[in-house]
Amino acid sequence: MTIAVEKVLYTARATADGGRDGKVATDDGKLDVVVAPPAEMGGSGNGTNPEQLFAAGYAACFHSALKVVARKARHDVDASTVTAEVGIGPINGGAGYGLQVALVVSLPGLDRAVAEQLVAAAHEVCPYSNATRGNIAVDLKVA
Protein backbone atom coordinates (compact mmCIF):
# COMPACT_ATOMS: atom_id res chain seq x y z
CA MET A 1 0.00 0.00 0.00
CA THR A 2 1.38 3.39 -0.96
CA ILE A 3 0.76 6.28 1.41
CA ALA A 4 -0.20 9.46 -0.42
CA VAL A 5 0.64 12.79 1.19
CA GLU A 6 -2.37 15.09 0.91
CA LYS A 7 -0.35 18.31 0.97
CA VAL A 8 3.44 18.65 1.11
CA LEU A 9 4.30 21.01 3.97
CA TYR A 10 8.09 20.85 3.66
CA THR A 11 10.63 19.19 1.38
CA ALA A 12 14.13 18.36 2.58
CA ARG A 13 16.81 18.15 -0.09
CA ALA A 14 20.21 16.53 0.35
CA THR A 15 22.84 15.64 -2.21
CA ALA A 16 25.36 12.83 -1.85
CA ASP A 17 28.71 12.89 -3.59
CA GLY A 18 30.71 9.67 -3.40
CA GLY A 19 27.98 7.40 -2.01
CA ARG A 20 28.89 5.71 1.25
CA ASP A 21 32.44 7.07 1.04
CA GLY A 22 32.08 10.77 0.31
CA LYS A 23 29.92 13.57 1.66
CA VAL A 24 26.28 14.51 2.07
CA ALA A 25 24.95 18.03 2.31
CA THR A 26 21.57 19.69 2.43
CA ASP A 27 20.74 22.49 0.04
CA ASP A 28 20.42 24.98 2.92
CA GLY A 29 23.88 24.11 4.32
CA LYS A 30 22.56 23.06 7.75
CA LEU A 31 23.92 19.55 7.28
CA ASP A 32 27.26 18.95 5.60
CA VAL A 33 28.97 15.75 6.68
CA VAL A 34 31.61 13.31 5.58
CA VAL A 35 30.25 9.80 5.16
CA ALA A 36 32.30 6.63 5.36
CA PRO A 37 31.47 2.96 5.76
CA PRO A 38 31.78 1.79 9.37
CA ALA A 39 34.81 -0.27 10.31
CA GLU A 40 32.47 -3.22 10.92
CA MET A 41 31.72 -3.21 7.19
CA GLY A 42 35.33 -2.84 6.07
CA GLY A 43 35.37 0.95 5.93
CA SER A 44 37.49 3.56 7.64
CA GLY A 45 34.75 4.65 10.01
CA ASN A 46 36.09 8.20 9.61
CA GLY A 47 32.70 9.78 9.10
CA THR A 48 29.06 9.25 9.78
CA ASN A 49 27.11 6.75 7.72
CA PRO A 50 23.60 6.48 6.26
CA GLU A 51 22.44 4.19 9.06
CA GLN A 52 23.44 6.74 11.71
CA LEU A 53 21.66 9.48 9.79
CA PHE A 54 18.54 7.31 9.48
CA ALA A 55 18.69 6.44 13.19
CA ALA A 56 18.96 10.11 14.14
CA GLY A 57 16.03 11.08 11.95
CA TYR A 58 13.83 8.20 13.10
CA ALA A 59 14.60 8.82 16.81
CA ALA A 60 13.77 12.54 16.53
CA CYS A 61 10.63 11.96 14.49
CA PHE A 62 9.34 9.17 16.75
CA HIS A 63 10.00 11.25 19.86
CA SER A 64 7.95 14.09 18.41
CA ALA A 65 5.10 11.69 17.61
CA LEU A 66 5.31 10.30 21.15
CA LYS A 67 5.05 13.79 22.63
CA VAL A 68 1.98 14.54 20.50
CA VAL A 69 0.08 11.39 21.47
CA ALA A 70 1.10 11.79 25.13
CA ARG A 71 -0.12 15.38 25.21
CA LYS A 72 -3.48 14.32 23.73
CA ALA A 73 -3.73 11.55 26.35
CA ARG A 74 -2.74 14.05 29.08
CA HIS A 75 0.51 12.35 30.08
CA ASP A 76 3.76 14.16 30.87
CA VAL A 77 6.65 12.71 28.87
CA ASP A 78 9.11 15.59 29.23
CA ALA A 79 11.76 13.24 30.69
CA SER A 80 11.36 10.70 27.88
CA THR A 81 13.96 9.69 25.31
CA VAL A 82 13.93 7.61 22.14
CA THR A 83 16.96 5.71 20.89
CA ALA A 84 16.85 4.26 17.39
CA GLU A 85 19.13 1.33 16.64
CA VAL A 86 19.44 0.76 12.89
CA GLY A 87 21.04 -2.47 11.77
CA ILE A 88 22.18 -3.30 8.25
CA GLY A 89 22.93 -6.73 6.86
CA PRO A 90 22.63 -9.02 3.87
CA ILE A 91 19.27 -10.22 2.55
CA ASN A 92 18.21 -12.68 -0.14
CA GLY A 93 21.29 -14.86 0.28
CA GLY A 94 23.61 -11.90 0.00
CA ALA A 95 22.02 -10.49 -3.17
CA GLY A 96 21.43 -7.16 -1.42
CA TYR A 97 21.27 -5.42 1.93
CA GLY A 98 18.40 -4.60 4.23
CA LEU A 99 17.75 -2.64 7.39
CA GLN A 100 16.11 -3.37 10.70
CA VAL A 101 15.22 -0.96 13.48
CA ALA A 102 14.75 -1.16 17.23
CA LEU A 103 13.20 1.86 18.93
CA VAL A 104 14.07 1.94 22.62
CA VAL A 105 11.77 4.34 24.44
CA SER A 106 12.38 5.51 27.99
CA LEU A 107 9.32 6.92 29.75
CA PRO A 108 10.33 7.39 33.38
CA GLY A 109 7.52 7.74 35.86
CA LEU A 110 4.83 6.18 33.68
CA ASP A 111 3.11 2.88 34.33
CA ARG A 112 4.46 0.27 31.90
CA ALA A 113 1.03 -0.43 30.37
CA VAL A 114 0.47 3.28 29.73
CA ALA A 115 3.98 3.63 28.31
CA GLU A 116 3.38 0.72 25.92
CA GLN A 117 0.07 2.24 24.78
CA LEU A 118 1.73 5.59 24.08
CA VAL A 119 4.57 3.95 22.15
CA ALA A 120 2.08 1.93 20.06
CA ALA A 121 0.06 5.08 19.35
CA ALA A 122 3.19 7.02 18.37
CA HIS A 123 4.13 4.20 15.98
CA GLU A 124 0.81 4.73 14.17
CA VAL A 125 1.35 8.46 13.58
CA CYS A 126 5.13 8.81 13.14
CA PRO A 127 6.01 9.50 9.48
CA TYR A 128 9.10 7.26 9.67
CA SER A 129 7.01 4.44 11.11
CA ASN A 130 4.45 4.92 8.35
CA ALA A 131 7.20 4.88 5.73
CA THR A 132 8.83 1.72 7.05
CA ARG A 133 5.68 -0.24 8.00
CA GLY A 134 5.56 -3.51 6.08
CA ASN A 135 9.00 -2.90 4.58
CA ILE A 136 11.46 -3.51 7.40
CA ALA A 137 11.31 -4.99 10.89
CA VAL A 138 10.73 -2.32 13.54
CA ASP A 139 10.91 -3.57 17.14
CA LEU A 140 9.33 -1.31 19.76
CA LYS A 141 10.91 -1.57 23.21
CA VAL A 142 9.87 0.25 26.37
CA ALA A 143 12.97 0.62 28.54
Structural domains of the chain in order of their starting residue, each with its CATH number: 1-48 (2.20.25.10), 49-142 (3.30.300.20)
Q: How would you write the pLDDT of the chain (143 residues) with one tens digit per residue? A: 788 999 999 999 999 999 999 999 999 999 999 999 999 999 999 999 999 999 999 999 999 999 999 999 999 999 999 999 999 999 999 899 999 999 999 999 999 999 999 999 999 999 999 999 999 999 999 99
Query: What's the pTM value of the predicted model, to 2 decimals?
Result: 0.95
Q: What is the C-alpha separation between 115 and 106, in angstroms, rounded?
A: 9
* DSSP reduced 3-state for 103: strand
Pair 88, 97: CB distance under 8 Å: yes
Closest to 99 in 3D by CA, of 77, 70, 128, 67: 128
Query: Which strand ranges, in their side-by-side order, compose the sheet holding 22-26?
Result: 14-17, 22-26, 32-35
